[in-house]
Amino acid sequence: MANLLYFHLCRFVVYTFLCQTTIRAYNTGLSVELIHKNSPKSPFYKSNNKLYMHNRRDSFYRVPNKSYPLNGPFTRVTSNNGDYLMKLSLGTPPVDVYGLVDTGSDLVWAQCIPCQGCYKQKNPMFDPKRSKTYTPSPCDSKECNSLIEHSCSPQKMCTYTYPYGDNSVTEGLLSRETVTFSSTNGKPVVVEGIIFGCGHNNTGSFNENDMGIIGLGGGPLSLVSQIGKLYGSKSFSQCLVPFRTDPHTSGTISFGDASDVSGEGVATTPLLSKAGLPYYLVTLEGISVGDKFVPLNFSNKGNIMIDSGTPATYLPPEFYDRLVQELKKQISLPPIRDDPSLGTQLCYKSETNLEGPILTAHFEGADVKLMPIQTFIPPKDGVFCFAMAGTTDGLYIFGNFAQSNILIGFDLDRRTVSFKPTDCTKQ
């Protein structure tokens, strides 16, 4: 029955290539760990704890200016301390790849040898020549044609260019490869024929810990679209650990039926999309600071995207200013004014976690409480800064700081996003 249905889907769905994906180990869902970049489970963890602490203290997070083009089809992560990495293994024999999880884009890609232009990467790069299962996609394939910017190599293979909103670009060969996931139930899951970009020329704001990006957006090439169907439903959920957290903990991401978000405390809002864009859009009506409701005065549907690849939350400047005014009223400490390295952010000195008001994000039909740990981030010792910013580019983002410690389910069949307050370090 399921197979038949699948067959029909395969005949009528536009993105027929997805149906060529085969899976060896099937179960009703897949959960994998989401590793914070500084976790001991990450290859980038500095095992010398002092060094790690040092690194963490000195590492300076400042809400960066972002520059997404208004109509750009893709956004990209702002690489900094707020990255979340997911491990998957590429090829046969498998090679571990730690990719940045990004609900704001689609393509799954990794840096590949030979490098025409790659950024420095700590771990060895994927070498397609050493994999028995690596297969470049032909230019006349469906997957190739689903990419906006693609062309044909002299060997008639699909070369792609995938630009991000911050002017980063990956270029390479669109390919298929066997991917192995280490799932949280201990059994590795092997999926054949996953479409990914073998990135031979990657430039922009990447850092040496990123081996690529795992696009989880709504478009056909994203990992979610490729494997979700194999697991019962095209849905996924994520639970991100907070920014400042015990490095031995990790969050999770789940696909298919394992991604169900239900039970007490769940708030659900409609998921919207715009034609041709892979973004997950929801409607934000305002944010309360404590009991004070600050309305967003243009609450058109789908006005904000949920992006796990962007750390800070970006809001209309005028709305952001009103939020800051209200925060200043309710926080009895004096804001820091004499530290140019902090820019114009609202920051406070505090030896322990900042005692700020609880914020409530009012999505359509869903109120989501945000604790100070989700809204004030320590860029350096004893300093906490409001992790939101105003932007004039019209693309508003609910970033990953604010998403932490919330189990967020993206139900792509029912078109909803569900939020459940959760201690993601205990997931």
**Contacts with ligand NAG, residue ranges (CB under 6 A):** 65, 116-117, 169, 171, 201, 203, 297-298, 318
Q: Give the H/E segment covering residue 371.
A: none
Distance separating alpha carbons of residues 283 and 301, to the nearest angstrom: 5
Q: Which is nearer to ligand NAG, 128 or 316 (CB)?
A: 316
Nearer to ligand NAG, 149 or 367 (CB): 149
Distance in Å, CB of 201 to ligand NAG, minimum: 4
CB-side exposure of 240: number of CA atoms within 13 Å? Answer: 30
307 is catalytic: yes
Residue placing its CB nearer to ligand NAG in the complex, 138 or 204? 204
| Tokens (6 digits) for 422 | 């959760």
**Radius of gyration from C-alpha coordinates of the chain:** 21
Enumerate residues 6+ apart whose C-beta is below 8 A from 179.
88, 89, 90, 190, 191, 194, 196
Give, in degrees to the nearest 5, the angle at Cα 147 between 146 and 149: 145
Q: Which residues contact 8 (CB under 8 A, 6 or more apart)?
A: none
Q: Which two tokens stand for residue 49?
A: 């704890």
How far apart, in whole angstroms, are the C-alpha atoms of residue 114 and residue 26? 34
Shortest separation between residue 116's beta carbon and ligand NAG, angstroms: 4
Q: Least CB distance from residue 112 to ligand NAG, whole Å? A: 13
Cβ atoms of residues 174 and 144 within 8 Å: yes
Residue 297 vs 330, nearer CB to ligand NAG: 297
- State in angstroms the smallest separation of the CB of 171 from ligand NAG: 6
By the 8 A CB rule, do 56 and 38 touch?
yes
Q: How far is the CB of 172 from ligand NAG (least distance, A)?
A: 10
Whether 291 is a known active-site residue: answer: no
What single DSSP character describes residue 321? Answer: H
Active-site pick, 102, 106, 210, 411: 102
Measured CA to CA, the distance from residue 118 to residue 197 in angstroms comes to 14
In sequence order, what are the residues at sequence separation of 6 or more whose Cβ sits closer than 8 angstroms to the Cβ of residue 82? Answer: 61, 243, 311, 312, 377, 399, 400, 401
- Please state the closest distance from residue 159 (CB atom) to ligand NAG, in A: 10
Of the candidates 83, 166, 210, 307, the residue annotated as catalytic is 307
> What are the catalytic residues?
102, 307
